[in-house]
């Protein structure tokens, strides 16, 4: 019998990279994706092109389902149909920090209630499977903005003696801060996945992510800034930087490195575990530094519009300390540098 992997958001950046990885490993992938991101953010996600790519390369191994994770009946029917599911990778979400404030009900229903739907059918129909949830560093809110930063020409950063210099660990508080409605809905899903793992003794893992990038993403102003920025550079278009003078720092991880971490967790799962996952200190750059790199590669002078006011609840600085995951899974490493990631996106239109 073929091993089945269920991947929600299977045509998004992380979901698609996961789909390709597990198909290459010989799994059958049950994909769920209704292309809602395209409608919400008014962008072309190339979903049909991706489906055709999967069906051509992996005939009969990728089975696509075009429905919403909030639809309990569709979710239940799928789990009933396939007698054994070994792994669930739940990446489907409302992903925009800004969009969530426009419609908190929709945002919460997708990110929290949709996750609850999946957890319940997971518990009822395949409780021996592994459940992986893509959470976000926005669950920590904006407390990180209160750290003691120093300002240099191109970035904000901490002193090397600061306890958070190497990055933020899973022990950082998620309370008493401003998260954005997206951060709150993802925190709810995050806690549900932990609770199903600990309360029902199920194999669940939460991966709290920052900037994940790769060639399969069609970014928008509201979400997916790196691919959005690179595409604007290619077209000599204007790119908007919100707040902090472009000195805000982000650590970037390639989706391929993230998916390999999923695979290692699947091979040796835990119950209700949480991991901060990102590019770490070596892959941490400010927006100004990233703009310089893209400008050099594209050989174009960027058109940047700087706005003084940052996005509500946005991070002034974020670097991930992924040492907890690395300790448990020592064979995992960051393989893609920021230069590698930029080049991967720049050279290959999806």
State mean pLDDT over 128-154.
97
Are 131 and 203 in contact, with CB atoms under 8 Å apart?
A: yes
pLDDT over 90 for what percent of the chain? 70
Q: What is the mean pLDDT of the chain?
A: 91
pLDDT surpasses 70 at 27: yes
Task: State how far the Cα of 330 lies from the Cα of 53, in Å rounded to an integer.
Answer: 33
pLDDT surpasses 70 at 221: no
CA distances from 99 to 67, 159, 238, 276, 344 (A): 21, 34, 21, 24, 28
Residue 132: band (very low, low, confident or very high) from pLDDT cuts 50, 70, 90 = very high
Residue 230: band (very low, low, confident or very high) from pLDDT cuts 50, 70, 90 = confident
pLDDT surpasses 70 at 39: no
Query: What secondary structure does DSSP assign to 195-217, as a single string?
Result: HHHHHTT-EEEEEEESEEE-TT-
pLDDT at 201: 98
Here the tokens at position 2 are: 């073929």
Dihedral angle at the C-alpha atoms of 181, 182, 188, 193, nearest 10 degrees? 180
pLDDT at 350: 45
pLDDT surpasses 80 at 231: no
pLDDT surpasses 80 at 269: yes
**What's the total number of domains in the chain?**
1
State mean pLDDT over 259-285.
98
pLDDT at 333: 97
**Helix/strand/coil for 46:** coil
CATH number of the structural domain spanning residue 266: 3.40.50.720
How crowded is residue 80: how many other Cβ atoms within 10 Å of its Cβ?
A: 11
Domain that holds residue 170: 4-347
pLDDT surpasses 60 at 349: no
Residue 300: band (very low, low, confident or very high) from pLDDT cuts 50, 70, 90 = confident
State mean pLDDT over 246-252.
96
Name the phi and psi angles at 92, rounded to 5. Answer: -60, 135
pLDDT at 280: 98
Model pTM score? 0.94
pLDDT surpasses 80 at 41: no
Nearest-CA neighbor of 23 among 48, 44, 46, 50? 50
pLDDT at 233: 75
Are 178 and 316 in contact, with CB atoms under 8 Å apart?
A: no
Helix ranges, the chain (H): 13-24, 36-41, 47-57, 72-81, 99-102, 104-108, 114-125, 181-199, 225-234, 255-267, 287-298, 323-328, 338-347
pLDDT at 150: 97
pLDDT tens per residue, range 81-104: 997 999 999 999 987 777 788 899
pLDDT at 220: 61
**3-class secondary structure for 104-162?**
HHHHHHHHHHHHHHHHHHHHHHCCCCEEEEEEEHHHHCCHHHHCCCEECCCCEECCCCC
Q: End-to-end CA distance of the chain: give it in Å, rounded.
A: 33
pLDDT at 312: 81
Range of 23-37, 85-99, 325-339 with top mean pLDDT: 325-339
Question: How many CA atoms, within 13 angstroms, populate the side-chain half-sphere of residue 151?
Answer: 6
């Amino acid at each position: 019998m073929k091993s089945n992997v269920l991947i929600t958001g299977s045509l998004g950046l992380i979901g698609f990279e996961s789909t390709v990885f597990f198909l290459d490993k010989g799994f059958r992938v049950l994909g769920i994706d209704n292309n809602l991101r395209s409608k919400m953010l008014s962008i072309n996600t190339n979903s049909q092109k991706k489906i055709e790519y999967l069906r051509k390369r992996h005939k009969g191994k990728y089975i696509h389902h075009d429905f919403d994770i909030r639809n309990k009946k569709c979710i239940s029917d799928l789990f009933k149909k396939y007698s054994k599911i070994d792994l669930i990778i739940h990446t489907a979400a409302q992903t925009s920090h800004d969009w969530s404030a426009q419609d908190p009900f929709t945002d919460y229903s997708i990110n929290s209630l949709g996750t609850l739907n999946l957890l319940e059918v997971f518990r009822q129909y395949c409780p021996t499977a592994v459940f992986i949830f893509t959470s976000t560093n926005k669950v920590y809110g904006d407390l990180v903005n209160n750290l003691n930063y120093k300002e240099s020409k191109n970035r904000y950063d901490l002193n090397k003696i600061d306890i958070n210099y190497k990055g933020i660990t899973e022990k950082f508080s998620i309370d008493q801060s401003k998260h954005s409605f997206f951060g709150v809905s993802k925190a709810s899903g995050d806690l549900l996945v932990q609770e199903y793992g600990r309360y029902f003794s199920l194999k669940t893992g939460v991966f709290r992510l920052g900037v994940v990038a790769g060639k399969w993403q069609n970014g928008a102003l509201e979400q997916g800034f790196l691919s959005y920025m690179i595409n604007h550079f290619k077209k000599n278009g204007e790119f908007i930087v919100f707040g902090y003078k472009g000195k805000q720092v982000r650590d970037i991880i390639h989706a391929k490195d993230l998916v390999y971490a999923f695979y290692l967790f699947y091979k040796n799962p835990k119950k209700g575990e949480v991991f901060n996952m990102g590019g770490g200190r070596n892959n941490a750059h400010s927006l100004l530094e990233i703009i310089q790199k893209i400008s050099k590669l594209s050989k174009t002078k960027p058109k940047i519009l700087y706005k003084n006011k940052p996005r509500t609840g946005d991070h002034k600085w974020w670097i991930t300390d992924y040492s907890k995951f690395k300790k448990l899974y020592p064979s995992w490493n960051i393989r893609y540098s920021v230069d590698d990631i930029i080049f991967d996106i720049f050279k290959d239109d999806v």
